[in-house]
Amino acid sequence: MEDVKFNFEDLDVWKKAVDFSVDIIQMTESLNTARKHFRLIEQLESCSTSIALNIAEGKGRFSKKEFVRFLYVARGSLFETITLLIIFRKLKWVDDTQLRKLKVQGIEIGKMINGLAKSIE
């Protein structure tokens, strides 16, 4: 069977952003907290998935300028994700090892987003 895919699926940054959001969602499933803070947990899942979603949406736009704008929105979602992870660490919901691993992934994704945006501009 012929491989069927969208053009954004070839972007390495999109692939890494998808893996990052999967890691976040898997981490939230094992959080050591009462689920009374479900809104924060949902926000973390939302902003982490928003990274890949905005990259894909931008790739589907009709101009390079629009694509770059969506890449910067994706970068904003990345920063939001990291901020929530830091808050979760302060609340002792995640440990230093988890936070470090996710921050390393985030730094790589951020550099890739910046590089892709600069190559388009």
pLDDT score of 38:
86
- Between the CA atoms of 99, 113, 77 and 97, what dihedral angle is there, to the nearest 10 degrees? 0
How far apart (Å, rounded) are the C-alpha atoms in residues 29 and 112? 28
How far apart (Å, rounded) are the C-alpha atoms in residues 86 and 90? 6
pLDDT score of 35:
65
Tens of pLDDT, residue by residue over 87-110, are 999 999 999 999 999 999 999 999
Tens of pLDDT, residue by residue over 16-36, are 999 999 999 999 998 877 767
Average pLDDT, the chain: 94
Sketch out the chain's domains with CATH numbers: 7-120 (1.20.1440.60)
pTM reported for the whole predicted model: 0.93
Answer yes or no: is pLDDT of 1 > 60: no
